[in-house]
Structure 1
Amino acid sequence: MSQLLQLPSELLMKIIGLLDWKTLLICRKVCLAFRDYISSSLECQYAIELAIAGLEDGPDSTMILAERLQRLREHQAAWRSLRWRTSRTIDMLRGGVWELYGGVLAQARGRGTLVFEQLPSAIRGITEDQWELVPKGLKSIRDFAMEPAYDLLVLVESATAEGTYRIHLRSLRTGKPHPKACNPAVLTHTPQGIEFSFAISISGEYLGVLFISSDDHESQILVWNWCTGVLEMPSYHKALKGQAIGSFGFLDDDRIMVGVVQHPEPALQIFNYKNASNNLTDIEDASFECSLQLPTLQAWVAPLAMSVRSDPSPRWQPSPDLKVPFFTSRNDRLFVVTLWVAEGGTIYTLLLFVPLSTIMSRLKSRGSFGGEYVWDEWGPHGSRMMKAPGGHSMIWVCYVFGQSFVSPWRTEDYTEVPVGAKAIRILDFNQLAVKKDVAEGPDHEPAVTEVVQNSSVLELGMILLHPVRTYLPYRTKTIRVPLHEDHAFNAVMLNEDTIVTVTSNPNVRQYRILSF
């Protein structure tokens, strides 16, 4: 050690600057000299603070290191206190479909025009932008999704008379066929049934589409490589068999996680779509890598539906044109599982918050097909379950980004809120940030965030066979939002630089964009 410290300080600083953040924290404890070197190094402080914030360095940024570190600290302070920089409203169009992803809010005007808003960020240096597209060659847009980093727009055209759906792969900026897509830049599928809704997810070169049947036909999950046009995973489920595909999400570069609605134990099942059969397969017969069972329901309870939400995707990256100094990390993400069940004439909504790290640890622990875990083997210490807050929406589902979840919040504590104002609540499951707050003690930045370390207990005997206790820590912040009385919002959405409140009543239909 003494020999290492005899190196020229410039060389020692270069060596230390090559270390990852975990090693840097260990080195800080080795000796006072190392602690001083690391504390005085911008590179080291930036690496450590990025990791604690759950962010990654922006490879295309032109900002010098000192400015990136300053912006990072401003970013963290603003989100901890929920102090946004700008606020404005956007009228809600009546095209029937919309999307919020990658810092872009998109809406349909009618059935043939899409309107896009690049949402700004003063802290990360993103300027506002608007554009419209009228994609040619479609009779009408049934649904769509987008991935700004790849300039990709996925358009689902309304079904033909034969029941075929054409999925168009276009440029997000020009509306023309995407230059990296298969040729022709159209995917087709003809499911059995007459009417479908869709859940669309994009992860890098992979496109997943859940065809959700509105009748007694199968719901189907298909995963394509949109660059080659190859169908990687065709599967379906006959809902009449007593269980149904509820939702899905990309887990990593090889796997998807499917919410399976079944009684008495709903489950999250993980499939490797790159090793899937090329034939249309009932999901009951498909080989899953892992199945995570949810708490057992009472015999008389009917599970109705399940939603699995997580943003951004495993292959997330910012558009290089934005040149952002940092962006949300792909190393850990939060999955929000919503389960709706019916008991008698009452519908109950439960929320389960599961970090990606919890799921991956179970995959790695067995490493073979057919790994099944009952709830007590994975859930209590690896997740947090609670009743859904009022206003948790089945429609405005962009309520999770990175490791945070947002919702409207109504409690007795807010009865004095003026007419027309509501509260926003954010739950942050970034475990590094939780540990940092605990280590610094309650006097650090008082009244900014609350750390919840005690367990949550659900004793809903009318729907759950046993009380459910979960322990995963989180940070929470609730803030009043003084808005005009006409914008008494009924839903909240979350993106990388924005909180979006949604008003969708007959008289007022607006988005309010709160930008950081």
Structure 2
Amino acid sequence: MTLFDLSKELVILILEELDPWTLLQFCNASQWIHLIAFNCTALRYKYELALCGLKDGPRSLQLPRARLEQLLNHKRGWPTLSWSLEDILRIAPPTIIGVSGGFLFHASESSLNNGHFQWTLQLYELRSFRKVAAPLRHLKYNVPFDIRRVAIDPSQNLMVLADLYHPSNNSVITARLHFLDLWTFQQHRQAAQLRYTFHTDWWGVLPPGQRIWIQQVEICGNKVGLGVRLEIEEGEGTTELMIVNWRTGRPRRYSGDLLSFQFMSEIRLLVASHPDDDDDDDDDDEESESEEPTMTWEHREDGIYMTERGQRTPQITLHDISDDIEPPFPRIRIYELPESWSAVSCMQICPNASPRSEAEVTPGTFFYSDPSQRIVVVSVQLDAKAIPAGCSRNFMLIFDESLPCPPGRGEEIIVRWPEWRNRCLVRNLPDGAHSLQVVGRRLMFFDNIAAPTATGPSNTRDDPRSRLRMLDFNSYAPNYLQSLKSSPAPWTWGGSWTTITAVVPHRVLPYIRTSTVDGYDLTCINVTEDGLVLYDEYEEETIVKILTFGKDPRLRGRNLAA
């Protein structure tokens, strides 16, 4: 007896025991199974989860039919960027603004009556139709220091604030991380200490033309990563990376050129860098000796100076950051990039906003991006005088997060570019591309274009428009695009939007490309699993548009500033 000899009721009982991905494979293999699953609410919910690259959240009181309705609305919104709710926030020009952990934050400095200054940090919880409807929280805290970066992990009730101290004398420049409870603004009860002070290798007052800033702050479980960059010339500088276990206070340190990072897990760290000559490869000593040095830095009393320009190939390195391993971070695997990219002036890993594991999912979430399906996006900018054939000055490297892994038995630690180039995608970017944002398998950015005139495209930028672009690398997304492309996008932000959606073939996999054009000039964007946050900055105020995908008839839109 085979599965097809059983009654429909027995088949449904068997299929209900399968995980979403296995059920999807069954449906792809048999039209009969697909028909059964499509007409059973619980099975279709599982099927749609796998089709969208999502995972089911913890069990809740919400019925499968309600979850399926939420999921289908979420699924229909993204390919055409059709949001169902728009919230507006108008604020005075902030010093910093952004999104982290499902919260919009902005901080500003104001003067007090006694002549002193005080920072105010405000947090607005972003709307999500993937959770049970609840009042959105607004938090406001007074902060006694200059905030430079904010990172939030609501699954641990953790908020990390970073500030930077520039001494007025010839002493060391330091950065500090403050480990706070998100709801009380006191020291987090699991933190080893309220703050951790990181002493950089730089000191004194920086001369004109040089600047130092906090480039990255990322949270992953019990680890917090801090990137501090010193820029010496335009595009030239050096970066220091520090990883600290905020529950034990144990730090790790790493320095390099063009350095950015992304946590793969609490014990794995991915680093993009332009290696120095001192970073010898143990398995390739002869080749290392013959290579020209990258660049050296001379620290004089009046600042840091670059004495040589680098020639070595940039690379992406997987490091072990386990607590039981002594620093520096041991390299597990090195992925080399093309030699023609040696003149890179900027290389940045774009942080992925989707959860890395189930532990990072906010309680009460119905469904979320599958952590095993995340992609890594590295933005690259080349020197204008050394752009190889087929490349624009700005481009991006895209690959699955599962690609970087420890070598197997008999495999080399160093992976040459020809050995892994067919497992990634290199895509050119417009010269004016801004705000590359990654969530799950989606990539978004925008670029400004000249507004058209009655006689054709304008050659001036007096009236620019912002073209918002989305690339969806879910391999199953093109399958359901045909049923959605005829649906008009309900644009609600000032004027008429033009929407273009298409399937783009590639040797790795097809993907959805969406472009929208509006009559406004965007300043920057943020992307979450639930929607978009668009910023339109003026001299007197910043307008924040929060566009949420999905639909919940129990909620109505409101102005967050109200």
Q: TM-score, normalised by structure 1?
A: 0.79
Residue of structure 2 in register with 1:190 after alignment:
199
Q: Among 250, 259, 263, which residue is 2:263 paired with?
A: 250
2: CA distance, partners of 1:353 / 1:73 = 27
Q: Structure 1's 444 and 95: CA in aligned 2 closer, same or farther, altered over 3 A?
A: closer
2: CA distance, partners of 1:450 / 1:62 = 38
Spell out the pairing of 1:29-178 with structure 2 (5 A cutoff).
34-59=33-58, 61-91=60-90, 93-110=92-109, 112-122=119-129, 127-135=135-143, 138-159=144-165, 161=167, 163-178=173-188
Residue of structure 2 in register with 1:405 after alignment:
443
Q: Structure 1's 488 and 246: CA in aligned 2 closer, same or farther, altered over 3 A?
A: same
CA contact (8 A) 1:288 1:370 kept: no
**2:530 aligned with 1:489:** no
Helix, strand or coil at the partner of 1:344: coil
Q: Structure 1's 409 and 101: CA in aligned 2 closer, same or farther, altered over 3 A?
A: same
CA contact (8 A) 2:24 2:51 kept: no
1: CA distance, partners of 2:330 / 2:394 = 30
Offset of residue 70 of structure 1: 1.1
**2:320 aligned with 1:272:** yes
2: CA distance, partners of 1:151 / 1:248 = 23
Most deviating of 57-66 and 101-110 = 57-66
CA contact (8 A) 1:290 1:369 kept: no
Q: Structure 1's 407 and 33: CA in aligned 2 closer, same or farther, altered over 3 A?
A: closer
**2:350 aligned with 1:350:** no
Q: Among 466, 469, 477, which residue is 1:422 paired with?
A: 466
Give CA deviations for 1:297-335 in whole Å, capped at 9, x if unaligned: 27xx73212110132352463322xx2321222112122
Residue of structure 2 in register with 1:452 after alignment:
504
Residue of structure 2 in register with 1:225 after alignment:
245
Give CA deviations for 1:135-157 in whole Å, capped at 9, x if unaligned: 4xx43323321112221111123
**2:427 aligned with 1:386:** yes
Output the amino acid matched with 1:445.
L
CA contact (8 A) 2:214 2:226 kept: no
CA contact (8 A) 1:102 1:318 kept: no
Helix, strand or coil at the partner of 1:292: strand
Offset of residue 507 of structure 1: 5.7
Q: Among 208, 213, 238, which residue is 2:230 paired with?
A: 213
Offset of residue 368 of structure 1: 7.6
Offset of residue 130 of structure 1: 2.0
Residue of structure 1 in register with 2:378 after alignment:
337
Residue of structure 2 in register with 1:324 after alignment:
365
Residue of structure 1 in register with 2:544 after alignment:
511
Output the amino acid matched with 1:251.
M
CA contact (8 A) 1:400 1:494 kept: yes
2: CA distance, partners of 1:46 / 1:2 = 25
CA contact (8 A) 1:192 1:217 kept: no
Helix, strand or coil at the partner of 2:148: strand
Give CA deviations for 1:73-101 in whole Å, capped at 9, x if unaligned: 11111112211122243235544223312
2: CA distance, partners of 1:10 / 1:63 = 24
Q: Structure 1's 36 and 337: CA in aligned 2 closer, same or farther, altered over 3 A?
A: closer
- Size of the aligned set, in residue pairs, is 465
Q: Structure 1's 54 and 417: CA in aligned 2 closer, same or farther, altered over 3 A?
A: farther
Offset of residue 62 of structure 1: 3.2
Helix, strand or coil at the partner of 1:424: strand
Helix, strand or coil at the partner of 1:175: coil
Q: Structure 1's 134 and 264: CA in aligned 2 closer, same or farther, altered over 3 A?
A: same
Instruction: Give structure 2 stretches of 5+ with no counterpart.
Output: 110-117, 204-211, 276-310, 488-500, 550-562
Residue of structure 2 in register with 1:463 after alignment:
none
Residue of structure 1 in register with 2:516 after alignment:
479
Residue of structure 1 in register with 2:497 after alignment:
none
| Higher percent of residues as helix | 1
CA contact (8 A) 1:209 1:221 kept: yes
Helix, strand or coil at the partner of 1:192: strand
2: CA distance, partners of 1:35 / 1:308 = 39
Instruction: Give structure 1 stretches of 5+ with no counterpart.
Output: 238-243, 456-470
2: CA distance, partners of 1:488 / 1:47 = 40
Q: Structure 1's 401 and 31: CA in aligned 2 closer, same or farther, altered over 3 A?
A: closer
| Rg (Cα) greater in structure | 2
Helix, strand or coil at the partner of 2:77: helix
Most deviating of 255-264 and 83-92 = 83-92
CA contact (8 A) 2:226 2:241 kept: yes
1: CA distance, partners of 2:220 / 2:269 = 10
Residue of structure 2 in register with 1:236 after alignment:
255
CA contact (8 A) 1:206 1:224 kept: yes
Residue of structure 2 in register with 1:377 after alignment:
419
Offset of residue 16 of structure 1: 1.9
Q: Structure 1's 266 and 473: CA in aligned 2 closer, same or farther, altered over 3 A?
A: farther
Helix, strand or coil at the partner of 1:141: coil
CA contact (8 A) 2:93 2:541 kept: no
Q: Structure 1's 92 and 302: CA in aligned 2 closer, same or farther, altered over 3 A?
A: farther
2: CA distance, partners of 1:33 / 1:71 = 26
Give CA deviations for 1:92-124 in whole Å, capped at 9, x if unaligned: 554422331232111112162211111223565
Q: Among 215, 218, 224, which residue is 1:201 paired with?
A: 218
Q: Report % sequence identity.
A: 21
Offset of residue 30 of structure 1: 6.9
Residue of structure 2 in register with 1:431 after alignment:
475
CA contact (8 A) 2:37 2:47 kept: no
1: CA distance, partners of 2:77 / 2:267 = 35
Q: Among 242, 258, 261, which residue is 2:274 paired with?
A: 261
Output the amino acid matched with 1:268.
I
2: CA distance, partners of 1:325 / 1:13 = 23
Residue of structure 1 in register with 2:279 after alignment:
none
Q: Structure 1's 293 and 261: CA in aligned 2 closer, same or farther, altered over 3 A?
A: same
